[in-house]
Amino acid sequence: MFAMEALCARLRELAQDCIDKHLAASAIFYADKLVTFSNNSPGDVYLLAQAYFAARQFHRALSLLRNAGVVDLGGEFTYLAGCCLAEAGDWEEVIALLGDDEAMQEPQVYEVSVLGTAHGGGGGGAGAGVRVQAGMCCLRGRAFEALENRGRATVWYQTALQLDPYCYDAFAALIDGHLLSNEAEVALVERLSGGMAEGDRWLGLLLRAKCKKYVQPEVIEAALRELEAPAAEQLAEAGPGPASYQQPYAMSSGPLHTAASVGGGAATGSTGGNAFPILFMTPPRAASRSGGGSGGTNAPAP
């Protein structure tokens, strides 16, 4: 028993590492053996489905989840199944799987009906990853947008942000898709900033700078100045750079330039009073048809 548990642990480690390194075939190989040895453990089935998804074998991943009977086991399983349908372009099936219940638009309802499931947890927001439920709402928005129902798409994108202000996919879809008015964008950013962690003020400033510039442009300029302030302070604290970056190269003077342009011979090893090497020098001009080349002799015209 101990040997089998150790083997499964090793296979999980290998499969996850291969997924992280984008070695899709290796990930599928190890995860498939893992599912066999663990007797279709739900977590291992999920890992194999992830490997199929990484290899862009979306129908195969969906079939695995359905045949194993884990699609409705928790949020992660349902979300992965929905992502497979989305990648396959089956947007109506995405809505059929995830639903479009008006009552589910309230965050507190999600907390009771979804976040309490075995795999639907995760505090989300400050101090944790983005909630799976926020991803599911964002996926609903993508589906409705693909079906050209911009009204429902807007509702679900906003619901995703209500559940988790760190779901940037939903925010980008609203802003880049021009689904909100300028006033609505500003109000949205203000609500999101209030739900972020104390040390994430920079994120609220970035989101504000993404909004349209028609309303309160001075606020956006102030946000940009505040974002740029830390970089300016770091440069000031670092002080002046090395001397080689402070003093420009003398491109038209120095021994190399003089030797090349006047004498026509090779430059000597001495650099004279110039403390810095010449980045490049003007090469001697070739003899022209009229003579007077830089070599000091007049070449006859052919």
pLDDT, greater one: 296 or 139: 139
Residue 31 has pLDDT above 90, yes or no: yes
Q: Indicate whether 22 and 43 sit together in one domain.
A: yes
Max Cα distance, the chain (Å): 97
When pLDDT is averaged across residues 212-219 and rounded to a whole number, the result is 64
Q: Indicate whether 194 and 144 sit together in one domain.
A: no
How far apart CA 68 and CA 61 sit, in angstroms, is 11
Q: b/e string for 240-275 if b means 16 or more Cβ within 10 A? A: eeeeeeeeeeeeeebbbbebbeeeeeebeeeeeeee
Of 211, 228, 245, the residue at which a domain comes to its end is 228
The number of distinct structural domains making up the chain is: 3
> Which residues touch 149 (CB under 8 Å, ≥6 apart)?
none
Q: Indicate whether 117 and 62 sit together in one domain.
A: no
Residue 64 has pLDDT above 90, yes or no: yes
Determine if the pTM surpasses 0.85: no
User: Which structural domain, as residue segments, surrounds residue 109?
Assistant: 80-163
Place 218 in a pLDDT band, splitting at 50, 70 and 90: low
In a domain, residue 199? The reply is yes
Contact 8, 37 (CB under 8 A): yes
How far apart CA 185 and CA 209 sit, in angstroms, is 11
When pLDDT is averaged across residues 274-286 and rounded to a whole number, the result is 43
Residue of 59, 55, 47, 58 whose CA lies nearest to 24 = 55
CATH number of residue 33's parent domain: 1.25.40
Residue 238, pLDDT score? 56
Of 70, 101, 116, the residue at which a domain comes to its end is 70
Query: According to the per-residue pLDDT averaged within each range, which of 131-135, 142-146, 265-269, 290-294 is highest?
Result: 142-146
The tokens describing 231, both together, are: 């970089």
Range from 8-12, 70-74, 114-118 carrying the lowest mean pLDDT:
114-118
